[in-house]
Amino acid sequence: MPDLNLGRPGLSVLPLGVGDAFSTLHYPACMLVSRYQNPAWDDEMTLIDCPQPIRKMMREADDGRFHGLDLHRVGTLILTHLHADHASGLETVAAFFKIVLGRKLRLIALPWVLDGVPPFLRAIQNLGRMDDFFDVMPIYPQEDSRVQLGTTEEGATFIEARRARHPTSTAALRIQHRDRLLAYSSDTAFDQGLWDWLCRGWDASKGAQADLIVHEVGHGIHADYDELAKHIRGLHHNMARDRTEHTRLIHYPDDMLPMLEASAFRLMREGHLEVVW
């Protein structure tokens, strides 16, 4: 494995939380995405969702390895949906950028998600409206509708969204930086069409595949593990092995942990850096 201390451009994912809404073992699902193999060199990271206690989650995931993770190192917040275990930190994030940092944060979400943000900020309405806290960039779930995050020496980052199967408006994501692609299901029931979209490479005509797929599992309205595993077992042997190797599970309930640890899939772990090869 390459030396992760060289600050090479690339794509990496640092899970800050991996649990479901009711977990007593883990923080709620949330992650930082960096344009480098090691986030220590990135001061414009992308934060996917912001549950509380978001700054504590960042500090614990850092543990001195990444030159101090905190909100000042975040340039973009992608909000997948407005359930509290994904959005309860919105007030803290908005106030921190306004009061402490004195600047706005780029906020990307589906239009229907953005419509629901103002109530989360009602308690700090004396500081301003949503546009006073965030540079808002709606993202649409149509094919080939992408958001681009600037062009730098590290290259541009592109984001695509697709609606997930969830009781409230929710975005699944594909994030591309340079030639690496991260796909994230967000909260969803198992959906064959969504799974295929997550697996598909940015340029489907070239037959490329996503380099890392982060998929939730859970109970009830959440993706059923048996459905996901059954689908992969039904694939050609080589493809099934490839999908398993490139998939990580997240948002798992406490009572599923022993079973998942014994499964063929690897789990996302809080503070465990995933480099997208």
Q: In the chain, how long is the greatest CA-to-CA distance?
A: 59
Partners of 162 in beta bridges:
172
pLDDT at 217: 97
Q: Are 97 and 71 in contact (CB under 8 A)?
A: yes
Question: What pLDDT does residue 228 have?
Answer: 92
Q: At what angle do helices 192-199 and 225-233 cross, to 10 degrees?
A: 60
Any alpha helices (H) in 118-177, and if so which ranges? 130-133
In this prediction, residue 6 carries a pLDDT of 57
Q: What is the C-alpha separation between 189 and 203, in angstroms, rounded?
A: 26
CB atoms within 10 A of CB 4: 17
pLDDT of residue 1: 42
Q: Evaluate whether 87 touches 60 at the Cβ level (below 8 Å).
A: no
Structure tokens at 124: 């700090």
Sheet holding 30-36, edge to edge: 134-138, 105-109, 74-78, 45-48, 30-36, 9-17, 274-275
Cite the beta strand spans of the chain per DSSP E. Answer: 9-17, 30-36, 45-48, 74-78, 105-109, 134-138, 146-149, 157-163, 171-177, 180-184, 212-216, 247-250, 266-267, 274-275
- pTM for the full predicted model: 0.93
Confidence (pLDDT) at 14 = 98
Q: Is 175 left (phi over 0), alpha (psi -120 to 50) or beta?
A: beta
Domains, in order of start, for the chain: 9-275 (3.60.15.10)
pLDDT in tens, the chain (277 residues): 445 455 788 899 999 999 999 999 999 999 999 999 999 989 999 999 999 999 999 999 998 889 999 999 999 999 999 999 999 999 999 999 999 999 999 999 999 999 999 999 999 999 999 999 999 999 999 877 889 887 666 678 999 999 999 999 999 999 999 889 999 999 999 999 999 999 886 544 444 578 999 999 999 999 999 999 988 887 767 778 888 889 999 999 999 999 999 999 999 999 999 999 7
Q: Show the tokens assigned to 111.
A: 């239009």
